[in-house]
Structures are given as C-alpha cells and as structure tokens.
Amino acid sequence: MTKIPQSSSTTYSAEAVIEVLARHGKDPTASQIEEIRSRLNWDVQAPASDNIDEAVMDAARYVLEDPPKLVLRRGAKPSEALREIKMRFDQNPFNPRQRIVTDDGKQLALLEVSASPNGGLHISDIMAVESGKGYGARALAIVLKIADEHHEEITLTAKAYSSKRRALDTPDLRDWYARHGFVVEGGDEIDGFDMVRAPRPKLTLSRKPDDKDPQP
C-alpha cells in the first residue's frame, strides 16, 4: 500500500466542519463530511493560515455541488482506461474516490476519475502532492497516455474554486488543459469550462519488404 505524504496543513475536526457548513445553510451527510475533511487535511497546497470558513467552503464545493449531467449514448462500453488506473494506482486511504498517481515510485498527484456514461474517462479533480514541481503535469500525461492506449476520450470541467488556494485561476486552468490537447465545448469563467480530449492514436510506420530507403 502506497503511503500518503504527511501534510503540514491544519487538521480540521468534524465538529468544526459541521459548524461552518451549518452557518452557510448546508446539511451534509456523514460521508460527505469525511470527504470534505479529507480534502482539507490532505490538500498540501493550502496554507494552514487560511480562514477556516473559506477553506471549508472551498473543499465543500467539490463534494456538495451537483456533478455535470451527461447524455448516455446507446452501446457505450465500460472504460478500460479506468480499469487500468484502478489496477495500477493505489486508492487514497483517506478518500476512496481518489487514486495516488505515481511514476517510478514517486507520488505525483491525487486523481479523482470516473467512467463517463458516454464511454471514456471523466476527471473530477487532479491535485499535485506538491505545487511548483510539475507533478500535476506529469500525472496528467500518464492519464492521457493510458486513455490513448485504450482509445478513450477524456472529459472534465476546468474550474478553480479559489485563486488563493490554487496556483491557477479558471482561465489559466482552461489554458493549461488546452496545452495538453483539451478543447472547450461549453461553459464560462463563472461555472467552469467543459472540456474534452479525443484519443490520439499511436502513429506507426510500415513498408513493404522490398521498399527502399529514400535517397537524399
């Protein structure tokens, strides 16, 4: 079992989380409270000095907001890419929705991904275990390669919930994903940009046995 890196951030108790959410009119379930605490306690990008109300509500948006609605296509197949991700990467013991993306034994990011009803992958969140070192880009590249190998598209919503707690704001996040081959299909800066990346087939060169090399 891969061990989660120890976080230097503040530990948030269930009572503190419930109190903040109650002040904002939220009534989460016990499992949602634990998932919010997991995001708070293991979000190594969040400084411990953050205002507790702001920190809790930022984390709660990931858990309490309704997931994007997708239209199911007939004949959609289960995601083989998701199956490989689950087999290849350990589950986060503090949040069963997340997988710990590693490369050569190096922990890169916490990935929350699911199968899209249309076939393929849907990334809900990808969070580098340490900011400023390119871990997020490395982890995303690994996921993209897996999806390409299984010829599956990837969908996501590019949205930064708090510029104070994230290195990129929503337009920056959209542009970051665009550099990795995602294109915008809808949305805006307020609600986030719905993006999709089609699978990129591996190029192969073939020639007949009697073919000659080109002459300069």
DSSP assignment of 144-156: HHHHHHTT--EEE
The verdict on 26 and 96 lying in the same domain is: no
The pTM score is 0.63
Question: pLDDT per residue over 167-214, tens digit each?
Answer: 678 999 999 999 999 999 999 998 899 999 999 877 555 555 554 544
The verdict on 57 and 120 lying in the same domain is: no
Compute the C-alpha angle 128/131/132, nearest 5°: 130
Whole-angstrom Cα distance, residue 51 to residue 29?
23
Whole-angstrom Cα distance, residue 133 to residue 210?
49
84 is a domain residue: yes
Question: pLDDT per residue over 100-145, tens digit each?
Answer: 999 999 999 999 999 987 779 999 999 999 888 999 999 999 999 9
**What secondary structure letter does DSSP report for 138?**
H
3-class SS of residue 215? coil
113 is a domain residue: yes
What pLDDT does 160 receive?
84
Compute the C-alpha angle 98/169/112, nearest 5°: 10
**Count of structural domains within the chain:** 2
What pLDDT does 69 receive?
46
52 is a domain residue: yes
**Residues with Cβ < 8 Å from 84, sequence gap 6 or more?**
146, 150
The verdict on 84 and 190 lying in the same domain is: yes
3-class SS of residue 128? strand
Whole-angstrom Cα distance, residue 6 to residue 23?
30
122 is a domain residue: yes
pLDDT confidence band for 16 (50 / 70 / 90): confident
Q: Which whole number is the average pLDDT over 157-163?
A: 78
Buried b (16+ CB within 10 A) or exposed e, 61-89: ebbbeeeeeeeeeeeeeebbbbeebeeeb
Whole-angstrom Cα distance, residue 58 to residue 73?
33
Question: pLDDT per residue over 20-41, tens digit each?
Answer: 888 888 887 877 777 777 777 6
Domain that holds residue 157: 80-197
Bridge-based pairing of strands 154-158 and 95-103 is: unpaired
The verdict on 97 and 44 lying in the same domain is: no
Q: What share of the chain is helix, strand, coil (3-state, %, to 5)?
A: 30, 20, 45
The verdict on 36 and 141 lying in the same domain is: no
The verdict on 61 and 84 lying in the same domain is: no
Burial of 212 (C-beta count, 10 Å sphere; 0-12/13-18/19+):
exposed
75 is a domain residue: no
The verdict on 86 and 171 lying in the same domain is: yes
